Structure 1
Amino acid sequence: MTVEKWNVDPAHSSIEFQVKHMMVSKVKGAFKDFSADLNLDPEDLTTASLVFTVDAASLDTRQAQRDGHLKSPDFFDVDNYPSITFKSTDITSDGDNEYKVTGDLTIREVTKPITLKVEYEGTSKDPMSGNMVAGFEGTGKFNRKDFGLNYNAALETGGVLIGDEVKLNIQIEISK
């Protein structure tokens, strides 16, 4: 096969995150609106190139007050920095259907490299459209303070309100 353009199926894809809360639990959320420019050959994924663009204002933690705070200048400052991007720079095979995808993550105009562990779930033919589809699951983490997301509060019992480590869980279905 050759490298071809593929499209994200938003109905079967998600970008989720989680962060420690009060050092004892986790807050989870998702970005509901994102797009991607994907060029790949399913026979050799190490030749792929991908760019994800996330609408920062589309974040949803299922709690409106918290979402409003996360969209404020204390965190994502969505009025001034409406997009979060990830652009791949290197993809290496890490065994059967497992890959390390390194790329540049940009949040609030700060760009830092991160590496995602990605599992290729395979390809199939959509019985409705007849298109070939492929699935991927990715996980990764980064330190939010590396991107200027510094807001926090000390707890009376010691520790802090919000953990620094952000964990990502990405499910992507694409079609050509």
Structure 2
Amino acid sequence: MTKFAIDPAHSAIGFEVKHMMVSKVKGQFNSYSADIEAADLTDLTTASIAINIDVASIDTRNEDRDNHLRSADFFDIENNPTIEFSSTNITRDGADYKVTGDLTIKGVTKPITFDVEYGGKGTNPWGIEVYGFEAEAKVNREEFGLTWNAALETGGVMVGKDIKIKVELEVNPAA
């Protein structure tokens, strides 16, 4: 098995959620790490993947909102500083993959399946092989204890229940 490292300059972990029933708020986490091992990343079914996200690094381009998301109303980063994912099963889905694993948010662990697209393999200008992947999944935030909301005068709520998680990774063999 080979260990692989994320290239943070060419990777992103983000999310989007419905805002006020009419638009979407998009954000990302700027600090994360991964333990990825595989016999061959051109066949992701040989991989073991664990991702650890620093929740304090949340960035929605609005400091007040980010601070609210860090508070006990949402992630409660003082007691739950990380979001963690650990793969439990990886299967082929045509040319792509289904990566199932345990997602832990705010101390609650639930199974989740990501639809993963293999972007391919290349060699960077320094002669290092790189692999690209894009993954997406949807979770109900309330199932993870993220239940804060506010009713709107016009009907509906401030924050949607469904969160779309988007992961883009460029990885290479760890040095």
Q: CA deviation at 1:56?
A: 0.3
Point out 4+ residue stretches in structure 1 off by more than 3 angstroms. Answer: none
The reply to whether residue 144 of structure 1 matches residue 147 of structure 2 is no
Q: CA deviation at 1:125?
A: 1.2
The reply to whether residue 82 of structure 1 matches residue 68 of structure 2 is no
**CA offsets 1:86-126 (integer angstroms, 9 cap, x no match):** 00000010001x00000100011100001000001111111
Q: CA deviation at 1:20?
A: 0.3
The reply to whether residue 175 of structure 1 matches residue 172 of structure 2 is yes
User: Percent identity of the aligned residues?
Assistant: 57
Question: Alignment partner of 1:145: what SS?
Answer: helix
Q: Which residue of 2 aligns with 1:158?
A: 155
Q: Distance in 1 between matches of 2:2 and 2:120?
A: 16
Q: Distance in 1 between matches of 2:125 and 2:63?
A: 38
Q: Distance in 1 between matches of 2:44 and 2:163?
A: 26
Q: Distance in 1 between matches of 2:83 and 2:106?
A: 7
- Please tell me whether the aligned partners of residues 121 and 132 of structure 2 are also in contact (alpha carbons under 8 angstroms): yes
Q: Which residue of 2 aligns with 1:119?
A: 117
**CA offsets 1:13-58 (integer angstroms, 9 cap, x no match):** 0001000001011000000000000011124211210000000000
Q: Which residue of 2 aligns with 1:5?
A: 3
Q: Name the amino acid aligned to 2:79.
A: N
Q: Which residue of 1 aligns with 2:49?
A: 50
The reply to whether residue 109 of structure 1 matches residue 107 of structure 2 is yes
Q: Distance in 2 between matches of 1:52 and 1:43?
A: 19
Q: Which moved more, 1:117-126 or 1:142-151?
A: 117-126
Q: Which residue of 2 aligns with 1:26?
A: 24
- Mark the runs of 5 or more structure 1 residues left unpaired by the alignment: none
- Mark the runs of 5 or more structure 2 residues left unpaired by the alignment: none
Q: Distance in 2 between matches of 1:121 and 1:87?
A: 21
Q: Which moved more, 1:7-16 or 1:38-47?
A: 38-47
* From 125, 129, 134, the counterpart of 2:131: 134
Q: Distance in 1 between matches of 2:165 and 2:106?
A: 18
Report the aligned-residue RMSD: 0.8
Q: Name the amino acid aligned to 1:49.
A: S
Q: Which moved more, 1:18-27 or 1:37-46?
A: 37-46
Question: Alignment partner of 1:79: what SS?
Answer: coil
TM-score, normalised relative to structure 1: 0.96
Q: Distance in 2 between matches of 1:174 and 1:117?
A: 18
TM-score, normalised relative to structure 2: 0.96
